[in-house]
Structure 1
């Protein structure tokens, strides 16, 4: 265990990225090196179909970090956000998130404590998790519409010890919904519920596919008899009033937030009481400190927090430390073991017993990368699932 006295100055000397292709997506790992022998931190800045842009952004931001004390996380975040001059969107926020994860890793290692100690301490003894159909296989997640495959893949998840799962089977939609489409959604949900029983939670990710409130509500009406844990992102992000109207009429919890960046984009949801559960992605919204601010505001708005995370292993580790220390946490999305060689490339603190991650005790985020093994999986162009989001008449719709 590496321990560095608080009085000893620490300086950042380099910031680099390593891209690892995990078959259906790329992971972007960020490594921050210090001038202390053996003291460095790992973070993650993965973003679908934006790999080269994010990795280059980390490189562009790196000069703002050199020579700074990595433990001054609040100050560094201010520098990264304010001295960039132009406001940073999802690409910039993801780059900053990966850098910030690495700073918490360094901070924890410097004191010999897990990062959750520095984020407010432990508020629970385990972290409930869920996964998707296929347990990380993106094709299974986004392309399972057949009822037999839904049943089989759901049962495979339950056989692994999970008691909650998420599905993405809302059809590509527009402003209206056909009776056939409604029936298909209701039948798929019935098949799932009959297969897994009443004690397993099912979440339905709409992926923002409905183009109107009425279309979203018609699908929700079909799902409600089968008691979903929540319906996620029923319409596209950015319209708090539309979400508020859906939440007011839906007879089940509504969740949203994975595509929002920073507290300012979440604030309208709190003000409008627009959802029941918020889903910040700690890999995209600016990091753990920004995530904590969002969670605190959500608690005052009587909302739970279920962090979004279909990303890689370091993002999962960061989410674990956030969940351990966040009182209004509900459940965590995870995709550990998404590729067969997962454990060859990275060691993580996520230890799952049944339906829950256990609380880690190793310093920092508790992550280590085997860089030689990681280098065996270089960047590849990701699979573009969105290419199928076209209606029969050629209309391009939301993925």
Structure 2
């Protein structure tokens, strides 16, 4: 069995799918979505395809080593995302060739279901209440919300009060049996994040996410020590080496993205490293169905897996929804706020190839918003 073709599809709303076909007709799907940069990753995958075509798809680890280390210049979001999509597709092929779900190849299931959470927005407490009610209506028992919109560099009194009011409103709706995570989204300085965290402690957030931008990971230990709330980070870290300092700094939850952090192969290693530090895994995944299925395959085989983000109904999904690209939506259906064990071969879902090819004709033009402060200077989004 040899790799015959490697194709990519840029589809709405902001995703990049990878299709690898073998000479005996087995098709594997992966997702190398790097939001806002589909075209750049697509070019990287095309270059990697020059190496892959004609190779044995079952040599997943060897291909991972070559693609990540074979170039003198290594790493970064673009190359890591390209490798991630390819890696997922190769695992999909491996499972289909052997007739088993990928989690069986990763050591077998350690759980029967994985808890899911959804994103909620809203710029005022009443909107937060409405959006949380919508998520509860579909059975979810956990949500995540942005702490704020654009934040001034030192955080004004009104901005900080608004953060507290919104989290208080969320807790009021959720009660004590459901959870709310709060995403700082790298919009805060360390000083303003440390100012806000103690004010949120009475509402017992599930975790506080990305209190500092990833290039300031050397500061995250100061934030961890300033609060009793579990701290999460990792959606913009792409390897074990990049995760090691934040694990050493005391974060409680690691959030690698399987479409950015080297795919299934590397995220399994990140999970094992995290376990050494008593850290739970909660992969970042505001992406498509392939990335979600890949996350779940890792989750079903990983002991220190906490919860799974998913983007069904998220505000970014304009022009297409997660389930629009699968033939059967049942494997990704919520059951009491959880995903049930995936049992079909490979990644466990059937991609609607016709829908993907049609969507690729339109492409996607999503770009990261550019925000500015009132003085005209750049603001973190």
1:27 CA displacement: 1.5
Give the Cα separation in 2 of the matches to 1:88 and 1:241. 19
1:372 CA displacement: 2.2
TM-score, normalisation: structure 2: 0.94
Alignment of 1:83-98 (within 5 A): 83-98=70-85
- The answer as to 2:6 corresponding to 1:15 is yes
**Partner of 2:225 in structure 1?**
248
Give the Cα separation in 2 of the matches to 1:366 and 1:183. 45
Q: Deviations over 1:172-201 (max 9, x none)?
A: 224412222111111111111112212110
Give the Cα separation in 1 of the matches to 2:321 and 2:179. 29
1:392 CA displacement: 1.8
- The answer as to 2:381 corresponding to 1:394 is no
Bigger mean CA offset, 187-196 vs 365-374: 365-374
1:48 CA displacement: 1.0
- The answer as to 2:300 corresponding to 1:324 is yes
On the 8 A contact 2:280/2:305 being kept in 1, the answer is yes
Match of 1:203 among 155, 178, 181: 181
Give the Cα separation in 2 of the matches to 1:206 and 1:317. 26
1:101 CA displacement: 0.3
Q: Deviations over 1:255-305 (max 9, x none)?
A: 0010001111111122333x1111011110001111011111111111111
Q: State the superposition RMSD in angstroms.
A: 1.6
Give the Cα separation in 1 of the matches to 2:136 and 2:164. 21
Unaligned regions of 5+ residues in structure 2, if any? none
On the 8 A contact 2:288/2:322 being kept in 1, the answer is no
Give the Cα separation in 1 of the matches to 2:75 and 2:218. 25
1:351 CA displacement: 3.2
TM-score, normalisation: structure 1: 0.90
On the 8 A contact 1:42/1:368 being kept in 2, the answer is no
Seen in structure 2, the aligned counterparts of structure 1 residues 51 and 106 have a Cα distance that, compared at 3 Å, is same
1:383 CA displacement: 4.9
**Partner of 1:283 in structure 2?**
259
On the 8 A contact 2:15/2:35 being kept in 1, the answer is no
Give the Cα separation in 2 of the matches to 1:29 and 1:171. 30
- The answer as to 2:95 corresponding to 1:108 is yes
On the 8 A contact 1:123/1:327 being kept in 2, the answer is yes
**Partner of 2:135 in structure 1?**
157
SS at match of 1:42: strand
Give the Cα separation in 1 of the matches to 2:323 and 2:73. 39
SS at match of 2:379: coil
On the 8 A contact 2:289/2:323 being kept in 1, the answer is no
SS at match of 2:65: helix
